A and B are shown apart, each in its own frame.
Chain A
Amino acid sequence: MHKFEEIWLTLSAGILIIFMVVVGYQTFALGMGPPSEKETIDPQKVDQIAPFNDPGVKKIGENEYEVVMTLQAFGFNPGNIEVPAGAKVNFTMTSKDVTHGFQIAETNVNAMVMPGHIQKISHTFDKPGNYLILCNEYCGTGHQMMSTTITVK
C-alpha cells in the first residue's frame, strides 16, 4: 500500500472512531440520546386518560416542573407557559390528531409527537427569556400558525 494511502486511511478511521466514541459516550453514559419514550396511548381517548385528562404545568420538586401537554391542529395545550429561571422542566406530550413537532428555539429540545405515542423530553432553563415553541412537522393548512411561548423569569 502507498504511504499516502496509509496516512489517509489511518486518519479517516481514527476520526470515525473518535466521533463514534464521543456520540456513544454522550448517549449511553450522559443520557443525551434523542427522545425515545416507548409508551403508547389510545389517540381517540387522550382526554380521558391520565395524565392527559388534566393538561397543565405541575410543580413536582424544588424548581422542577412537569408539563403535561396535548398537541392538536394547530395549537399546544397548555400554551404560554411560565417557569422560573433555573427550572428543570419535564415535558410529557401526546398528539390528539396527526404527527406534530415540538421544538423550543435556541435549545436542544426537538421531539416528534405522534398520535398513539407518549413523548417525553426534559430541559433546564437557565437563562431567563421568552422561548418560542414551534411545531416543526407539517401538520395541515394552519401548520405555520402552530406556535406558543415559554417564559422563563
Chain B
Amino acid sequence: MNTTKANISKQQEGADDVKSLKGTLVSTGIVGAVIVIMWVAVFWLYMTRL
C-alpha cells in the first residue's frame, strides 16, 4: 500500500516537472526567436547595403 502511494506521488512529481518545463520551453523559445530575428535583421541590413 505504501509502495503504491509512493509510486503515485513520484508520478505526480514527474507530471509537475513536465508542467514546470513547459514554461521554460516557451521562455527559451521566446529568447531564441529574439536572437534569430535580430540576427536576420542585421544580415538583411548588411546584404541590402552591399
Contact = CB atoms under 8 A, between A and B. Distances in A.
Interface of A: 2, 4-5, 7-8, 11-12, 15, 19, 22, 106-108
Q: Looking at chain B, what size class is its interface with the partner chain?
A: 10 to 19
DSSP majority for the A interface?
Answer: helix
Nearest to A126: B50
A108 B50 contact: yes
A2 B17 contact: yes
B35 A15 contact: yes
A107 B47 CA distance: 10
Contact of B22 (A4, A11, A15, A107): A4
A4 B25 contact: yes
Interface of B: 17-18, 21-22, 24-25, 28-29, 32, 35-36, 39, 43, 46, 49-50
B39 A19 contact: yes
B25 A8 contact: yes
Contacts of B35: 15
A7 B22 CA distance: 12
B17 A11 contact: no
A5 B25 CA distance: 8
24 contacts: A2-B17, A2-B18, A2-B21, A4-B18, A4-B21, A4-B22, A4-B24, A4-B25, A5-B21, A7-B25, A8-B25, A8-B28, A8-B29, A11-B32, A12-B28, A12-B32, A15-B32, A15-B35, A15-B36, A106-B49, A107-B49, A108-B46, A108-B49, A108-B50
